[in-house]
A and B are shown apart, each in its own frame.
Chain A
Amino acid sequence: MNLPRISYAQADPGDATVIDKVRRGVLEHLIRPKEFPRIFHAEYGHPVGYQFSWGQILELPTAVPNPATERYEGLTWSLFTTLPWAALRGHLQSLNRPLSHLLRSLMDDSANGIADYVPPWILCDGGRAFEAVRFITLSTQDSIRARSWLADVFLPNQLFSAIQAYQAELHLALECSFGMWWRLSHACSNDEQ
């Protein structure tokens, strides 16, 4: 399969302003990305976070407490990288396959390449269908450190490499899940021609 690849050239200069909002924790209400089915988006209530050209980062309080203080003081950042989804839209339409099926077939693998960029003290959860990755901290101190890392290291320097790694997982899932079906359907259409 010859699939489109995301490149650094697709980075929007306007994203620098949003990175500054991440640094300062200036949240905005987020609108559901059109690729994201309404039923799943509802799980997030009224999400707040940051809107980038490549997707969204949701920012939420971590749902479990810091064991050292027994207070719920951590933060969780969920990355919805819609740019690779959009790049696959035409291909999925030609296969008559919805994006949600592809994302579910990623299983727990969506963050496999992204985790290489994430320091070990940030928990890196890849097990949710629509999120490329979820960065989790438990303590106030780690939340502050993680926000700095996001704004000063990850988003300006590593994001597109991470998105490319996510895209590679998507392509692998596409090949594994739909590859056989795709090859068979193309073989049939070639026979008909």
Chain B
Amino acid sequence: MHAAMMNSKPFSYERLLGARYGRLATPAVFIDNLRQHGRTAIDPLPMGDDCWPRSKRTLFDEFSDAHGFQFDWGCVIVSYPPWYFDGELDHRFACRIVPTALWERLQARDQLTLPIPVALSQVRSRVLRVLHPRDTGSIMWDPPGLCYDLFIPWVDGREYSHELFRWLGSALLPDLLPPTLSYLEALVLDLALRAEVGLGEASERGHHE
């Protein structure tokens, strides 16, 4: 209810770094990636260990009623999905950081061998380790309970939303996020390259044997 309430009247921030607030569609790359692994947007997601299990957990659920800001690297979704707190009241005002462009690049180069939630869960903690030491002021953040989110910065109530948006607009999005997303892409690419080498070595061994 909390998230739905937030989305019904979207605070005073109509724009964030030039991006206009609006309804966000489910990213096509997530649907394509699931399809490659024989799933649809309404099938249960293959979850990594660092995602909180919830009864509703499909791609469709993760993007239900998603509103926020679309950027060339991905999107900032304002607040959690309406079902997320399962009827419990949560006072946090949060923004979900959901990268998409790097997954599109990896997918286009056939370097995305795993379902995205699984690949992300394998590298997420290493990515967050390079964000952890950076000064965020009063902004707190969590590793996400949602499978496609990189992380979720939040403030302790809607009345502090201006602090969150100020940090997003002045520090995270222009300065900290670009190298962090490069690192995420590098880690997933490394998984793919190592798998290729492993496969190559295995096939070479097979050839010699």
Contact = CB atoms under 8 A, between A and B. Distances in A.
Interface of A: 63-67, 70, 108-109, 111-112, 114-116, 120-127, 133, 136, 138
Q: Is the interface of A mostly helix, strand, loop or mixed?
A: loop
B176 interface: yes
Contacts of A109: 132-133
Contact of B189 (A67, A114, A122, A126): A67
Contact of A123 (B102, B135, B179, B185): B179
Given A67-B102, A120-B175, A121-B179, A115 B135 contact: yes
B197 to A, nearest CB: 12
Contacts of A122: 179
B186 A66 contact: yes
B134 A136 contact: no
B189 A136 contact: no
B137 to A, nearest CB: 12
A68 B180 CA distance: 14
B182 interface: yes
Given A120-B179, A121-B179, A123-B179, A138 B133 contact: no
Given A67-B189, A138-B186, 10 more contacts: A70-B189, A120-B176, A120-B179, A123-B179, A124-B130, A124-B133, A125-B130, A126-B133, A136-B183, A138-B179
B193 A138 contact: no
Nearest to B130: A123
Contact of B132 (A64, A65, A70, A127): A127
B201 interface: no
A123 B130 CA distance: 6
B193 A111 contact: no
A64 B130 contact: no
Given A123-B183, A136-B183, A138-B182, A64 B133 contact: no
B43 interface: no
Contacts of B175: 120
Interface in B113-138: 126, 129-130, 132-135
